[in-house]
Amino acid sequence: MGIYGKILTVITLTTLFLGKAHAQEQAVGTSWSFSGIGLTYELRTKPDAFVQLGAQMEMGEMFLGRSQYPGASASFTWNNIFRTLESRNGNSIYLFAGAGASAGYSKDFRLKKKQQTYYGGFFGLKGRAGVTIIYDRDINITAAVAPILGMHLCPKNGTIIMRYYRYGLLQTLMPEITISYRF
């Protein structure tokens, strides 16, 4: 298959996906936390489940003054809603939890003051749990924790060192706030 065949395949699959996604509830927004800032997209796949895609600038080391440049990551989580509460004025609150994956390029958290850390790639399993308030004016506000249990690959003296991704576990202590527009 040539380049034009691949482009046509991507366009066809995208068109089919967008047609299906248009009929379901969606939300686009921004996420904010001590670990960084990002963009999110949510797609309600079932009445009690949704998928979240995210792209984030990993800025935890910048906020601590240990780095000049941010890292970047992308994530995917499949979330299940296990409790829904309705208010008298049309707002809803739901509790959710889910799992997925995350990958990116950033600097890992250092444990000791003199410990050297390097930029490198990371990948791992991502969990997500939180609460979402759905306002009747098409605005969602979410507070969640999203730890990453993964590995960090970094170069050192001409070799690649693989160790657990400490910063991913520290994200459990740094809840994220997401504000999104529902359509």
For the chain, what is the total number of helices (H) and then of strands (E)?
A: 3, 10
Where along the chain do its domains lie? Answer: 25-182
Are residues 43 and 18 in contact, defined by beta-carbon separation less than 8 angstroms?
no
Query: What's the pTM value of the predicted model, to 2 decimals?
Result: 0.80
Q: Position of tokens 């440049």? A: 69
179 to each of 37, 38, 58, how far by Cα in Å? 12, 11, 18
CATH number of 25-182: 2.40.160.20
66 to each of 1, 71, 116, how far by Cα in Å? 47, 13, 10
pLDDT at 123: 94
Alpha carbon distance 14, 107 (integer Å): 34
pLDDT at 141: 96
Could you read off the pLDDT tens digit of each residue along the chain, which spans 183 residues? 666 565 556 566 555 555 555 556 899 999 998 888 999 999 999 999 999 999 999 887 777 777 788 889 999 999 999 999 998 888 999 999 999 999 999 887 665 666 666 788 999 999 999 999 999 888 999 999 999 999 999 887 888 888 888 888 877 778 899 999 998
pLDDT at 160: 86
pLDDT at 42: 95
